[in-house]
């Protein structure tokens, strides 16, 4: 994304034409409202940071959808990572390294759900342009857990499978 999106600004995207932009917003945890073109079916993987409408839509209905997305994606509900690598959540913010940002994009795209270790390896190999070892993943997870403590998020280990990013208890 070339421009910084304010974390409460809802971006309108045409679906499916702007699917790439949708992926970027979703990875960053930023809100978007998909405007379905013609008789196109909505995506089957809507996240908490997204909603969709089919035009024509009444102005009051549109305003209600935007308001709901703004509430859902406020810093108290959904973590957000801006393009500079700063993570926002719970009224707090914390800067992330490149590796931590790359991993957080995976976790934010599936907030509250399992992210497999092999997906994290692929994400880290994109920034290093080399294979990533299991030990490297473990080290990055340890550092990421320390970083997340400041914004009241935690990474829960699902043994043998991966990790789940969730609000700290």
pTM of the model: 0.60
What is the model's pLDDT at position 115?
A: 96
pLDDT band at residue 17 under the 50/70/90 scheme: very high
Domain ranges of the chain: 11-72, 80-167
Counting residues of the chain whose pLDDT is more than 90, the rounded percentage is 49
Task: Provide the b/e sequence for 135-145 (b: ≥16 CB within 10 Å).
Answer: ebbeebbeebe
Match domain 80-167 to its CATH number in 3.30.499.10, 3.40.50.880, 1.10.10.10, 2.40.10.340.
1.10.10.10
What are the φ/ψ torsions at residue 101 (nearest 5 degrees)?
-65, -40
Which runs of E-coded beta strand occur in the chain? Answer: 11-15, 32-36, 50-53, 80-81, 86-89, 92-95, 114-116, 153-158, 162-167
């Amino acid at each position: 994304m070339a421009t910084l999106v304010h974390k409460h600004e809802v971006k309108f995207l045409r679906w499916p034409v702007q699917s790439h932009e949708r992926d970027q917003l979703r990875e960053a945890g930023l809100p978007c409202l998909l405007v379905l073109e013609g008789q196109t079916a909505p995506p089957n993987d809507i996240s908490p940071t997204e909603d969709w409408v089919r035009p024509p839509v009444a102005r009051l209905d549109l305003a209600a959808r935007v308001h709901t997305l703004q509430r859902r994606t406020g810093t108290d509900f959904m973590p957000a990572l801006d393009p500079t690598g700063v993570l926002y959540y719970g009224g707090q913010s914390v800067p992330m390294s490149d590796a931590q940002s790359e991993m957080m994009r995976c976790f934010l795209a599936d907030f509250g759900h399992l992210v497999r270790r092999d997906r994290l390896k692929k994400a880290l190999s994109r920034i290093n342009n080399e294979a990533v070892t299991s030990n490297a993943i473990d080290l990055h997870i340890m550092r990421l857990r320390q970083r997340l403590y400041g914004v009241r998020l935690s990474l829960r280990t699902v043994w043998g499978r991966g990790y789940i990013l969730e609000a700290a208890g």
